[in-house]
Structure 1
């Protein structure tokens, strides 16, 4: 416990000198090194965590730390960001102002965006002084705070930010999740508080009662089991008992209850109302639950404070320890507790509180069939869905459980549950709920609504054929409202985009778009445009795909990444860059991970291999953070190819293995084809041409649309494998599909140039290869140009045209080297050496793995900017990349340079000879 005077404060620290020294050492380290750290204080209730945490925070404040100290609350453990808000908003100099924090909560609708903004605010504060953020009772942290606390320590590891968490031991609880996420990226210390020794308990008794403590009191204290809070409560109970002439209490429960029995009945009843509301509660709320005007309960409040049971912080009343609250709470009969929680929920809502504030009471007090509670849960789920979809899903499943077994409310709650569960990534659960509701034979209109709600679920599960079957069945049965029929038609077109008849799919999409426009239903409009964009992209109609995705992102900015990639497919990198810049300032609903996918495609297209690799690595991390693995297979496939181009065979194999593992999770045709192609590339690198050709055949069999999506820019590699394997017919088929893509996109230099390149390879036509190089001069894709130049150089050598061959090879070599494709450049260097032109280019040198020379060009830029005092955000603005990508680069910089803080990095950079 923490007392109100110096004696009790010292008493609470008896026997904790060693633990306090551990925390002091960590605090000194953060201040000295300028790098982050995390400490976890663990122990049973009453063991002294709060007292130790409070003392450590006090010492840090005295040492110049900017401090935020908060406490999570059991009955607010689902209110988004409530726990972390307690840590960053409290104190003499809050880490964030209430207004700034409210802006974050109000303007954001994505967890990743929110965490990054919090990180920027804390990073800015840490620039002036080290920061300590402490959270007590972390076992009750709300889901969004838990998410943030799993990201922030690692994100801020390069700044002097110390995190101190205190909580109860739980191997699967929030504290262990947070420590596990931080492990390996910054120093972490777990301080486990054990029961105090008998000597320490004796010192505590001496501190509290004076030196003359008789043996019978010491015997009594043995019942505390080394728990300092229980010991002090027993001593307080002893004082109460002696003053009243009662027998000496033999246990802490008797001691606490003895103190409670000494209170006036009205005071005890008031405390019980407070205990129902939580450890921290409002005076007016407790009075309302009591059923008395606040003024009449002031004497009860005063007595509770005098008895040391409550503290008044000026805004709320707080039980001095949660064990005190529990002692009051358990004496309320269970049936009365349930009724009081239900009443508390209604009163909080009536008082204008958010639905989520009433939810903890609903979960404890609602009975099946309570329509008002179902309505509150539905509203709360809708409110928290953007930031904590998992919590929203839990609330909706509970709402469905409470909904009446018959009637429209059950179907309405079920439809919402399907949508929310799908958004939370729990698609299997959503499908199960939907099928159970459909099996109950709902009215036709409800049947259609449920099938429409399940559309996104089936799409996320890659069940395109099942989606087609269900939508056609629902449309055939009829009875749907016009807007629902429009959604079903759009979902059917989306499903058909994965089929072989893309002409029929396009007709279905156009019909669905007309229906969506006629009904004015926004969701149907989004679905129809999305389907038409997918269909056009799968058919290789890049200009049409761009038109559809541009209209889609204008309707919903979340689809801006699709528009950016569509611009890249028509070689319009300038518009892609403009939209990427626009997205960097967007605080709306743009999907952060998908924006990084678009950024990666942009950097890859321009031959920025280091940047592209960092983009895709960051994308995967963000997808892992929010547990939505959308592009992880394709990201790993591209990173493996990048590693092969660089000559990093170990990394290339690691990425291949990771791609295979992720394919098991999402084994759709696109992912399968991508992994098969990568396996072909690796087989060729290993000298197994037969296996490589077999894998390319598998890619071709995945479906015609995959030819446009996967081999758009990589068809030359597939053709070379086929030719090396003497599979000329396969090579001709690949060249023909490149030609068909060019015919669909005559204004796209990359498409026409790749087609000419493919034909030149298949026919061994030198003139056609020369033509391909000429066409590709207008293409912004540097690696595509370099590959064509390299093949032209080889053909010119074979034709005996050595000077022209060397020029073409040198041009390709330069592009590969500048892009970071060192292995590809080295192969060309060998060809040039064989042609007697080795002196024209120096051989590519292998990049070291440690030290300044190990850094990529982008990492060096980031290192210099951070050394100059830039934050991640300002560095990102200078480099025109995402702050998340800067963080990825910075992680690599610290690893390669073996530094742990921005201060150490700045010292190293300043010491460089060329600085």
Structure 2
């Protein structure tokens, strides 16, 4: 009898020569080029995907690859990282040790951080040998593995890593999603497997039964439809029949069910219990469902293995193919399946399993009113929230559905669902869930808790006025618990931070903070400090904002980016830089995208335009990855201004268009004002001063919030537009707000210097412009200093003070050029030429598009380090930036240089002249 014998497994490759050759080409090319690639093997169940994947893995091992091979499981498709873990932890030389993997998954929420650490581990292994990571049945990959697989191939494109995925066709499935994410970054191949040809099926028949095969058998095999698995199963059945001396039974059923009819009832029952547990299961768990001691099932196990239905891998029993498991499973009546899944869930938890391991069975077997299942879903959701908030939200939504409508538990579960939906970025769903619960007229204390839980969703949706209305309504109702009342008060202060009366907002925030401190409620404390920090920042009180954000980040490290930016507003870039380094060492505890926002602001302030642009681009990508857009509009506005300073009008327009698209998705007042300001800058650059002035007026109408947050360092630009448009009233209003801002920040050189510059522009006062340059000498912001020098130079030229004008314009030109603001430097060079002072000119020609000279200074540094053998992590440590930013620089460098791997990059750098190669 043929069971799981090697001959049939091997013969499953009949008719797959072309597909094998395609995979062999990739196995050869990846180590030769040193760059990554991805192949997706697709086909219906039983078509030979697993066999082809196994053959490719064997070939890769023989070629010197380090191999990690895993298989996703239908009944474990929600356990975080379970699918990819199999690829990384199994094999003779696992890519990650079990301890290292466990350490990665302990961190609080950081999907991005987790993926980066996985990338570093794989990258390190790839330095010594090419790596193959294979995953079978990718259609069942868990959400976190899918997230990682969307990021890792592109992140590791510059290393010799081959990704081999196998799965069923599904245009909307995870395989296509992963393939699309990788397609722009590395070579991708789809290997579709169709039915085997008649000739290949005949070869399978000859391999198994010999060449003298009855024509009736060949006709019967036509019923396999070219599916090698079904053909092999039929041949196994024929082999058994011939061994027993019987002719081919006329009732033979094509496929798997015919294989089961000869089994003893006890064996079939055992197999059915195993099928409920999943493709992989333990004898102990199956025995528990059978209600028998494991020892009594040994005869059934032996019969199932002899029949070629099960394998034993030393740890678990495994159905030899998914079709085998499914054929057994569908023979169980639907009502019995539900009962068995429910029993399986109870057994797994009672045996010490994690709640998440029981969840697949709960989802198939729980009914409304099953309180135990509700409790298990809540525990599982809490466990997975840090790494897969979307899954946690799904589990809580299901838990809420299982609670009877009249049960008091419904409000408790609903509150948890609201919070998890909000954390998953599904704020609209959280709001609708909360409103449905509120419509049920909950008790007053529950009403207050639900309104407090909805605060995060309303804030994320930029519904500050609605948040204020709801919190005030809830606070007006007696009966709220102290914790709920404190959180509502803090949320109210947060909502008021977006209003016009910041004095009242501050009083509300301080009251909320006292209440939170008095009762010791951490959530209320965090909300109150966050609100006070926002209020102070919106009022332009930078030192006060820093005080609140520093206290906040001490309580909750995730808010460290806010503290860093608050230091920058005080011109304290030294402290901001130290905190960035500290945050990099503890990146698993903070928000990666917001940390990149802080890094970008730091680089922008110091005039490192290339680094700032790369940082904001990386931040936007990470926000897209986690689908939580926060700073994307502002990032595009800044990147557009950077492009204009560089002289890249096409890129500037692309960023403006992107900012408008993102504004449509998140049209809050701040985003609206930021885009209007950018439109003013573009209008002026296009020569439409009237439109520019109109846009600035629109910005001013947004209120005090915009005055401090948007025009803190750009007010001089807005004043110049107003003066060119002959709107003196607008220019004076802008100068007044700059003066007010300076009065609130008297120790900040940038604030005091910009205020003098603004008033000097409005009054055309040389003395004030000279004072602004003197004050700004202490500012760490070179672009601000350059703008003030340029204004002074222009005024001195107009007053006929040519030598002093040339000195000021020359200083400004140099500062712009050093920062990479080549277009701004070129404009000043033209002014100097017109003044007859063209000597000592700074070369400001636009950077080429391709080649080594096309690389920014930061890209060249990264390229040299990587060419010397550094990983992204070690290069990041040397450059004091994040590995994500290094990856952005490296990807850009590869594109400009036309290379696809670190090997090619190293060869290119080695061929450069010595000064360019060493960066001297």
User: TM-score with structure 1 length normalisation?
Assistant: 0.99
Kindly state the Cα deviation for residue 255 of structure 1 after the two structures are TM-superposed.
5.4
Q: 1:868 is matched with which residue?
A: 868
Q: 2:162 is matched with which residue?
A: 162
SS in 1 for 2:845: coil
Residues 203-282 of structure 1: matches in 2 within 5 Å?
203-243=203-243, 248=248, 253=253, 256-282=256-282
Deviations 1:505-546 (A, max 9, x none): 000000000000011000000000000000000000000000
Q: Distance in 2 between matches of 1:820 and 1:8?
A: 65
Contact 1:230–1:252, Cα closer than 8 Å, also in 2: no
Residues 688-699 of structure 1: matches in 2 within 5 Å?
688-699=688-699
Contact 2:3–2:309, Cα closer than 8 Å, also in 1: no
Kindly state the Cα deviation for residue 5 of structure 1 after the two structures are TM-superposed.
4.5
- Would the alpha carbon gap of residues 443 and 901 (structure 1) be closer, same or farther in structure 2, given more than 3 Å must change? same
Q: 1:407 is matched with which residue?
A: 407
Residues 490-501 of structure 1: matches in 2 within 5 Å?
490-501=490-501
Q: Distance in 2 between matches of 1:331 and 1:706?
A: 66
Contact 1:220–1:250, Cα closer than 8 Å, also in 2: no
Residues 817-832 of structure 1: matches in 2 within 5 Å?
817-832=817-832
Q: 1:809 is matched with which residue?
A: 809
Q: Distance in 1 between matches of 2:292 and 2:9?
A: 37
Deviates more, 1:230-239 or 1:203-212: 230-239
SS in 2 for 1:778: coil
Residues 771-850 of structure 1: matches in 2 within 5 Å?
771-850=771-850
Kindly state the Cα deviation for residue 239 of structure 1 after the two structures are TM-superposed.
2.8
Contact 1:224–1:252, Cα closer than 8 Å, also in 2: no
Deviations 1:586-641 (A, max 9, x none): 04420000000000000000000000000000000000000011000000000000
Kindly state the Cα deviation for residue 108 of structure 1 after the two structures are TM-superposed.
4.9
Q: 1:672 is matched with which residue?
A: 672
Q: 2:536 is matched with which residue?
A: 536
- Would the alpha carbon gap of residues 626 and 253 (structure 1) be closer, same or farther in structure 2, given more than 3 Å must change? farther
Q: 2:299 is matched with which residue?
A: 299
Q: 2:179 is matched with which residue?
A: 179
Deviations 1:742-761 (A, max 9, x none): 00000111000000000000
Higher RCO structure, 1 or 2 (CA under 8 Å, sep 6+): 2
Contact 1:421–1:430, Cα closer than 8 Å, also in 2: yes
- Would the alpha carbon gap of residues 440 and 251 (structure 1) be closer, same or farther in structure 2, given more than 3 Å must change? farther
Q: Distance in 1 between matches of 2:315 and 2:332?
A: 26
Q: 1:508 is matched with which residue?
A: 508
Q: 1:287 is matched with which residue?
A: 287
SS in 2 for 1:107: coil
- Would the alpha carbon gap of residues 823 and 124 (structure 1) be closer, same or farther in structure 2, given more than 3 Å must change? same
Q: Distance in 2 between matches of 1:381 and 1:38?
A: 33
Q: Distance in 2 between matches of 1:303 and 1:77?
A: 29
Contact 2:224–2:255, Cα closer than 8 Å, also in 1: no
Q: Distance in 1 between matches of 2:403 and 2:254?
A: 43
Unaligned runs of 5+ in 1: none
Contact 1:38–1:186, Cα closer than 8 Å, also in 2: yes
Residues 455-466 of structure 1: matches in 2 within 5 Å?
455-466=455-466
Q: 1:426 is matched with which residue?
A: 426
Q: Distance in 2 between matches of 1:748 and 1:659?
A: 31
SS in 2 for 1:263: coil
Q: Does 1:107 align with 2:107?
A: yes
SS in 1 for 2:597: helix
Q: 1:443 is matched with which residue?
A: 443
Root-mean-square deviation (CA, aligned residues, Å) is 1.2
Contact 1:639–1:655, Cα closer than 8 Å, also in 2: yes
Residues 39-54 of structure 1: matches in 2 within 5 Å?
39-54=39-54
Q: Distance in 2 between matches of 1:165 and 1:90?
A: 16
Q: Does 1:345 align with 2:345?
A: yes
Contact 2:107–2:589, Cα closer than 8 Å, also in 1: no
Residues 331-370 of structure 1: matches in 2 within 5 Å?
331-370=331-370
Q: Distance in 2 between matches of 1:649 and 1:244?
A: 82
Q: Distance in 2 between matches of 1:594 and 1:313?
A: 45
Q: 1:708 is matched with which residue?
A: 708
Q: Distance in 2 between matches of 1:353 and 1:727?
A: 72
Contact 1:223–1:251, Cα closer than 8 Å, also in 2: no
Kindly state the Cα deviation for residue 9 of structure 1 after the two structures are TM-superposed.
3.4
Residues 446-485 of structure 1: matches in 2 within 5 Å?
446-485=446-485
Q: 2:880 is matched with which residue?
A: 880
SS in 1 for 2:191: strand
Deviations 1:663-702 (A, max 9, x none): 0111110000000000000000000000000000000001
Contact 2:256–2:323, Cα closer than 8 Å, also in 1: no
Runs of 4+ deviating beyond 4 Å: 2-6, 242-247, 249-255
Q: Does 1:72 align with 2:72?
A: yes
Unaligned runs of 5+ in 2: none
Kindly state the Cα deviation for residue 155 of structure 1 after the two structures are TM-superposed.
0.3
Residues 611-630 of structure 1: matches in 2 within 5 Å?
611-630=611-630
Deviates more, 1:527-536 or 1:92-101: 92-101
Q: 1:575 is matched with which residue?
A: 575
Kindly state the Cα deviation for residue 245 of structure 1 after the two structures are TM-superposed.
6.8
Kindly state the Cα deviation for residue 256 of structure 1 after the two structures are TM-superposed.
2.9
Q: 1:142 is matched with which residue?
A: 142
Q: 2:26 is matched with which residue?
A: 26
Q: Distance in 1 between matches of 2:246 and 2:675?
A: 78
Contact 2:400–2:413, Cα closer than 8 Å, also in 1: yes
Kindly state the Cα deviation for residue 706 of structure 1 after the two structures are TM-superposed.
1.1
Residues 674-753 of structure 1: matches in 2 within 5 Å?
674-753=674-753
Deviations 1:34-88 (A, max 9, x none): 1000000000000000000000100000000000111000000000000001111
- Would the alpha carbon gap of residues 743 and 757 (structure 1) be closer, same or farther in structure 2, given more than 3 Å must change? same
Q: 2:756 is matched with which residue?
A: 756
Kindly state the Cα deviation for residue 285 of structure 1 after the two structures are TM-superposed.
0.9
Q: Does 1:17 align with 2:26?
A: no
Deviations 1:707-747 (A, max 9, x none): 00000000000000000001011000000000000000001
- Would the alpha carbon gap of residues 108 and 475 (structure 1) be closer, same or farther in structure 2, given more than 3 Å must change? closer
- Would the alpha carbon gap of residues 390 and 285 (structure 1) be closer, same or farther in structure 2, given more than 3 Å must change? same
Deviations 1:457-494 (A, max 9, x none): 10001000000000000000121000110000000000
Kindly state the Cα deviation for residue 109 of structure 1 after the two structures are TM-superposed.
2.5
Contact 2:272–2:329, Cα closer than 8 Å, also in 1: yes
Kindly state the Cα deviation for residue 264 of structure 1 after the two structures are TM-superposed.
2.0
Contact 1:70–1:87, Cα closer than 8 Å, also in 2: yes
- Would the alpha carbon gap of residues 528 and 562 (structure 1) be closer, same or farther in structure 2, given more than 3 Å must change? same
Contact 1:27–1:60, Cα closer than 8 Å, also in 2: yes
Q: 1:897 is matched with which residue?
A: 897
Kindly state the Cα deviation for residue 253 of structure 1 after the two structures are TM-superposed.
4.6
Q: Distance in 2 between matches of 1:267 and 1:321?
A: 18
User: TM-score with structure 2 length normalisation?
Assistant: 0.98
Deviations 1:224-275 (A, max 9, x none): 0000000011111223344567773568755533322222221111111110
Contact 1:249–1:255, Cα closer than 8 Å, also in 2: no
Q: Distance in 2 between matches of 1:766 and 1:779?
A: 20
- Would the alpha carbon gap of residues 853 and 3 (structure 1) be closer, same or farther in structure 2, given more than 3 Å must change? farther
Q: Distance in 2 between matches of 1:554 and 1:541?
A: 20
Kindly state the Cα deviation for residue 654 of structure 1 after the two structures are TM-superposed.
0.2
Contact 2:814–2:842, Cα closer than 8 Å, also in 1: no
Contact 1:342–1:365, Cα closer than 8 Å, also in 2: yes
Kindly state the Cα deviation for residue 332 of structure 1 after the two structures are TM-superposed.
1.0
Q: Distance in 2 between matches of 1:710 and 1:554?
A: 27
The number of equivalent residue pairs is: 914
Q: Distance in 1 between matches of 2:107 and 2:376?
A: 23
Q: Distance in 2 between matches of 1:253 and 1:761?
A: 91
